[in-house]
Structure 1
């Protein structure tokens, strides 16, 4: 029994490598422009992607808790495969819009489920305390894969865009094949009885309701989710717009690809060793470090263009630290029966931040320039980051004491809610 869950961890490395080997991630804007889409249409397509994320994120998390993490992971890769095919064959805005909707839904299906699958596999082995280190190593693999993807995408796109998308589709086929090899961890759902198994709609709504109920006594988990989403959206926004920022500075596409790839490598290192940093300076010290790096990097991008590459790299360091530490913090404080659903709140929050931050950044950069926009972003986001850090560290000890008590309360709460 334990062997298959140990195998899940090994499979997780291969799966996440192929998942993040998305060589079209850094060229999709150029590709859509090549296919005849205007910048306005491209912006609308990006909005469609994140709006879809908001609509599907929580239901897909609940589906993973109810029908299995493996089920959602496999379904997500199958849906994404359809999205890749549409990106190759579509010639109209509507075709690309459907592709973006499918791509977002596929990411929703994977987001909470894949993370929950790894944590619950370790829980089956009684090794939850290893999650921080394991997830850091997985994050290392994913970041290295992303860096490789940026280089491959740039090379293939210079030859022909079609080659990049065909290769990307082949990689997604490999990810789907690997996903079939996962074993489903056992998730105890005390409120599910034989009569209710056929009432899927009611059960789905109940799962969402009970997950919110489980969060009520875990306020710092909600703060952690918001902190994770904020740092993730900041790093993503800087990543995409820095490519244009560097291009305006006169850097070639090849040099920009090398910078992004190096950034992914640095992010991989920081993700892998984030647990070591937290072990030395504890949670509060790590969060302060993430805040300090974010402040310095955004201020640097705004004020010292000459050293913009260095400040860009700093954003990848803070992103790597936050990704690993927040994942462990959240997972260690939520019950397995609602894990994928609650983790979906993280992706939901990320999409919410992106819907506002990404287009606002682009609008401001077009009107006032990148330097002023980086500065404005710092003035808007950094105070919120500091506030969340304060709330997390202030209430963390109390929340740790309450976790075991709350876990005992979850089952009777569920029983009362459903009955």
Structure 2
């Protein structure tokens, strides 16, 4: 098979791989599962913090590993770690057992994040078709969102029968994703980077930081993306207990979360069309307004909680697809996975701060008041980042002409 066919196969496999990745049976029930296993809300918040502390420590190194040693290898290792994590979740019964499972799960996602996205973009770039990335990445996210919706319903049904069944099926699906990842081919831009021999990983990280200093619009887009992602993720996971406290069954909660995923999938699919109309700044403003407005609604309008929960799902679909395209357009290929991993690092920083805080506040106060307080925290930061992006985005496209960065 010639190189072009291998690269086109990468695109096809990315659809299958992404669908399997999104088919996370346990995503709608892990909070309930941990509560069933005797974990308090504070302990659940601490476990999520452990997950993101691990991500914080490993995100940039795993991105550098992908750029230096190959994106395919990194993705394959990530899926293997996810299988091990699922087995630990099944066999553990203590806080520290779950903590180890969360550490390995975080490492698995670190290995995936940045590397899988960079592999897809560099495959298209090598084919001279990077202009279609926004549309293709929208399809990828559509498949992820659709798979998540199916997984949530299936996971909720299985959890109502027995939690164990959901985690067994989850492990089998991760195994299928591992097998699919083995079929990827390394794109030319992803070949082993020989620069900085002997200290290549340190060199890779330092040079990637230099790229971010020189291309500030990328830095602020990453921060905005991570902030919105942390908001949506916090709402999504704590909504499991939130809706449970309101009297909904596990199956009903799964259906609500699945509807949110389907909405996110559809908005991902057509995000490139939305961006054509609103442009970058218009998209940022709409995303910020919907995010904050949904939090306010969850905080003060109990009867419409489901509607506001579904409304916030719009932001995930639009934001992830649009930000991914804008960021990738402005990155040198040889540092792509490392810098994309910085997005995950920022997301972890926000989650380390927000997720445990939300758990403590919800435990001491209630969910509605906590949603309102979260809105107050996010408003000034979103406004500041929007102003910064507007300042730096006008001249940023000129950065991609100097695709090589020298580090001294």
Shift of 1:253: 2.5
Q: How does 1:232-381 map to 2 (within 5 A)?
A: 232-381=229-378
Shift of 1:280: 1.2
1:56-108 CA distances to partner (integer Å, 9 max, x unpaired)? 11100000000111010001111111111222223433332221111110000
Q: How does 1:41-52 map to 2 (within 5 A)?
A: 41-52=43-54
User: Aligned equivalents of 2:370 and 2:306: distance in 1?
Assistant: 17
SS in 2 for 1:183: coil
Bigger mean CA offset, 251-260 vs 11-20:
251-260
Q: Does 1:28 align with 2:25?
A: no
User: Aligned equivalents of 2:22 and 2:146: distance in 1?
Assistant: 9
User: Does structure 1 conserve the Cα–Cα contact (< 8 Å) formed by 2:54 and 2:103?
Assistant: yes
1:124/1:88 CA distance change after superposition, 3 Å: same
Name 2:103's counterpart in structure 1.
101
User: Aligned equivalents of 2:94 and 2:255: distance in 1?
Assistant: 32
Name 2:185's counterpart in structure 1.
183
Structure 2: where are the runs of 5+ without partners? none
1:177/1:291 CA distance change after superposition, 3 Å: same
1:268/1:82 CA distance change after superposition, 3 Å: same
Name 2:166's counterpart in structure 1.
164
Name 1:145's counterpart in structure 2.
147
Shift of 1:190: 10
Shift of 1:38: 4.4
Shift of 1:188: 6.9
User: Aligned equivalents of 2:231 and 2:193: distance in 1?
Assistant: 39
1:135-185 CA distances to partner (integer Å, 9 max, x unpaired)? 111000001111111111111111111111111111011000000000101
Q: How does 1:168-247 map to 2 (within 5 A)?
A: 168-187=170-189, 192=194, 197=197, 199=198, 202-247=199-244
User: Aligned equivalents of 1:300 and 1:208: distance in 2?
Assistant: 41
Shift of 1:10: 0.6
User: Aligned equivalents of 1:287 and 1:43: distance in 2?
Assistant: 29
Corresponding residue to 1:58 among 52, 57, 60: 60
Name 2:94's counterpart in structure 1.
92
User: Aligned equivalents of 1:79 and 1:251: distance in 2?
Assistant: 33
Bigger mean CA offset, 387-396 vs 311-320:
387-396
Corresponding residue to 1:390 among 379, 387, 390: 387
SS in 2 for 1:224: helix
Shift of 1:395: 1.7
SS in 1 for 2:225: helix
TM-score relative to the length of structure 1: 0.93
Shift of 1:40: 4.1
Shift of 1:390: 1.8
User: Aligned equivalents of 1:402 and 1:52: distance in 2?
Assistant: 32
1:95/1:248 CA distance change after superposition, 3 Å: closer
1:88/1:247 CA distance change after superposition, 3 Å: closer
User: Does structure 1 conserve the Cα–Cα contact (< 8 Å) formed by 2:58 and 2:107?
Assistant: yes
Bigger mean CA offset, 62-71 vs 308-317:
308-317
User: Aligned equivalents of 1:190 and 1:13: distance in 2?
Assistant: 25
User: Does structure 2 conserve the Cα–Cα contact (< 8 Å) formed by 1:294 and 1:382?
Assistant: no
Shift of 1:252: 2.7
The CA RMSD over aligned residues, in Å, is 1.7
1:107/1:268 CA distance change after superposition, 3 Å: same
